[in-house]
Amino acid sequence: MGDVKVSCERVTSALSDDDLEMLCEAALAGILDGGGFGWIRPPSRDVLKRYFEGLLLVPERNLYVVRENGIICGAGQLIRPPASYEAHAATVTLTAFFIAPYARGRGLGYQLLTTMLNGAKAIGCKVVNCDVRETHTQAIRLFRSFGFEEWGTHPYYARIGGQTVRGIFLSKLLADDHEASEWRFTPDTGATNHPARRALTLYPAIDLKDGACVRLRRGEMDDATHYSDDPAAQAKTFADAGCQYLHVVDLNGAFAGRSVNYSAIEAIVRATDLPVQLGGGIRDMEAIERWLSTGVERVILGSVAVKDPDLVKQAARAFPGRIVAGIDARQGKVATEGWAEVSELEANDLALRMEDAGVSAVIFTEISRDGMLAGLDLEQTAAMAKSLSIPVIASGGVGTLEHLQALRDVAQEVPGIAGAIVGRALYDGRVQLRDALDVFKAC
């Protein structure tokens, strides 16, 4: 597979005829697929051209486009309030955000949203608001992965095809740590105030050994508990319960240095519509390309992050938004080769290197706690999240509902924490899946 170049930009001058044609083509495809501009049926190309040309004449509207190998494949807009709206001067509305259907699944949405949020920061905005049809699940998932908080729904948001569609309202606070306390809403009730809780993502774990679902204690292959011979059925159970993502690890692959549980992983991907993040033994571009083309949403690079950082950079450029760094540590020191080897590299140092390499998120596991049900290492997780601008997913040690509540409480002060991976506690019944999902929902 050749190098894929993705670029994003704010449009500050008239588009060339070719660019305008490409933008209209992408927009028409997006409208036919379910919207993006409010049109139910696609307008004529001339109408679309006039629409985009007119945007550049409105100072309050900033148009952004994303390109793949120079071809415009999507766009979005930031709308600033009029200058006379002093109370709203630091807010901006994100709207008309779309990626053409033929270009989805390759990280373009991630890159476009990253560029737009950086653009909002550059003009001094502290809050980004947006609203999305409830049926646009991929867009909602993307916004949530960036820390957007869901604060309400509109029961009569749109009327499409004879059906009423609900809308979801989302906001993201861009203020830095010093400013955040000034921006968080505290109701004037006379009672003790608590910051609004932010939704986190629960990642149920499916760890594969010899084709079966197992859980290890402290990463020891000889200390595995067998839970199910049907990983696909387990994936469907998680999906039916309301999970939004699956975390899958090929344990044999992690120790062998190459993927092993092919059949089980492919069966999991086919079993549900949930996105899957996969780790374990993926250590070259061929393996990365294979799994992403098979239907895996994100690939987790662990040992190779330490031993071949250039590969991580290459993969992050080729598949923006779809490469995650898995950082496993014992007492703060990075472990590799299926946790069999411990280096002298500090976990936080590796996390910063991975951010520079372009990964979309970091999964942090304190191995000494993994499978022990003693609770997450909140201190290390929070310290890592504070040092990064990309999301951190906590892993290792969840044993009770209180452990998830503790992470949720920490995440209110450390927005970079995006969720947690839970395995043994779910399988043992120590944590009920529905209760765990409720803890992580926004209140």
CA-nearest of 428, 362, 426, 427 to 395 is 362
**Is 328 annotated as catalytic?**
yes
Strand (E) or helix (H) holding 131: strand 127-133
Q: How far is 72 from 65, CA to CA, in rounded Å?
A: 7
Q: Dihedral of the CA atoms 237, 241, 243, 247 (nearest 10)?
A: -20
**Is 207 annotated as catalytic?**
yes
Q: How far is 415 from 421, CA to CA, in rounded Å?
A: 17
Q: Where are the alpha helices (DSSP H) in 259-400?
A: 262-271, 285-294, 303-307, 309-318, 347-357, 378-387
> For 261-296, b where at least 16 C-beta lie within 10 A, e where not — what string?
beebbebbbebbebbbbbbbbbbeeebbeebbeeeb
The secondary structure of residue 102, as a DSSP letter, is G
CA-nearest of 407, 415, 409 to 385 is 415
Q: How far is 73 from 109, CA to CA, in rounded Å?
A: 10
Q: Torsion-angle region of residue 355: left (phi > 0), alpha (psi -120 to 50) or beta?
A: alpha
Per annotation, catalytic residue among 17, 46, 131, 207: 207
Terminal-to-terminal C-alpha distance of the chain? 45
Q: How far is 233 from 212, CA to CA, in rounded Å?
A: 11
Per annotation, catalytic residue among 250, 328, 370, 377: 328
Position 133, amino acid: R
Q: How far is 436 from 400, CA to CA, in rounded Å?
A: 9
CA-nearest of 318, 360, 430 to 1 is 318
CA-nearest of 334, 277, 336, 275 to 304 is 336
Residue 70, burial from CB neighbour count under 10 angstroms (0-12, 13-18, 19+): exposed
Q: What angle do CA 364, 369, 370 make, to 5 degrees?
A: 70
Residue 42's SS3 state is coil
The catalytic residues are: 207, 328
